[in-house]
Amino acid sequence: MECLAEMPHAPLDRRPRKRQRLGWDVGPEIPQLKKLCGEEVANVISAMTMGLSSGGIVSSQEAQGLFRFATPPLREDDKDGHYVFAVGDNLTSRYRINAKMGEGTFGQVLECWDRERKEMVAIKIIRGIKKYRDAAMIEIGMLEQLCKYEKSRSR
Q: 20 versus 1: which is more confidently predicted?
A: 20
Rounded to whole angstroms, the Cα distance separating 155 from 121 reads: 13
pLDDT in tens, 113-152: 999 999 999 999 888 888 988 999 999 999 889 888 887 7
Rounded to whole angstroms, the Cα distance separating 39 from 47 reads: 12
Q: Which domain holds residue 61?
A: 42-71
Does residue 104 lie in a domain region?
A: yes
Q: Check whether residue 67 and residue 125 sit in a common domain.
A: no
Rounded to whole angstroms, the Cα distance separating 116 from 14 reads: 46
Give the number of other CB atoms < 10 A from CB of residue 85.
16
pLDDT in tens, 67-101: 455 555 566 777 777 778 888 888 888 999 999 99
Does residue 79 lie in a domain region?
A: yes
